[in-house]
Structure 1
């Protein structure tokens, strides 16, 4: 998929995001500038695509502007509806509560859920989760992707090894499938360096190759 098509499929421009949120461009600018809304996931121009995750990478010429996930609408509306001066606080409280609930459900009675949820916040606000999470409209969607990635990294040495038995590899494939659904496909500019390639496509091939050789 060409980069321009990928961006048009999964992202919207700043002006389009303002329209979706039903706020003025000036209001959206103010929310972003004050840290009460996420930064753009991608900033394109001068033949480069820039992100908080991968820095500046070569891109097709003629692609310009800032790109945001449309799933941000819910969060921006939460911030916009808060009393003046409390926009970021309102968003952080709502997102943190959802992250903590999702982490507690997944991890059981874990007293570290509040601290772990707090660790996710910078990646939400710098646009990282817009790049890698399939559903950044909810804390549950964010937590699910992050926890699945942690499991895959731990089980496979960050994609460097597979399981030892057929049954374990079937379970590993199920985990890979779940992670694939919870994560983004990544743009063609960064795919070769992405967790999608390493933990989904390459890892599946390793499991399939091992099964075929038996």
Structure 2
């Protein structure tokens, strides 16, 4: 019995002691192990390395496979035009291109208390022909063909010759009161010859707006 107890004591005690040693060695390694291999780095990632600054005048070689940037931007192409849904209508010709002009006409002296020549009246009226021309051109596009505005007015002696005393419209092929009034107002700038003996003359004059050469004169 004592021999068996002695055998167990020699087998168990060394085994327990060996286990305690192994456990102590493992615990010691666990407590003293390095931890820097298992920790992740803390902080922002390292910045990309920038190329070192080049001295002035240094040309940088282009990267293979990449075309260098162009200094001049490509031209911008205008968008294609859209077709019009209507047919373009040509604009009417300007009044300045109208071949009609205020042509020379014969004045008619209806009555006079002093002697006055019709040729002198006609020559005086020709001085304001450009003004009357403008009166007709203002309505030329609305009134085609030859036009006539006939006026009756009086010529009286004034301080500097004859002046228009009164005027009225006799007839007009243009139904435009502005054109009629414009032609009548143009006579206010005419320096008529004064009737002899300080009299007064009543004159009828037709302003004719037509192509030159179509009248008898």
Place the TM-score, normalised by the shorter chain, in its bin.
under 0.3
More helix by share: 1
- TM-score using structure 1 length: 0.23
State the structure with bigger RCO (CA 8 A, min sep 6), 1 or 2. 2
Q: Rg: which structure is higher?
A: 2
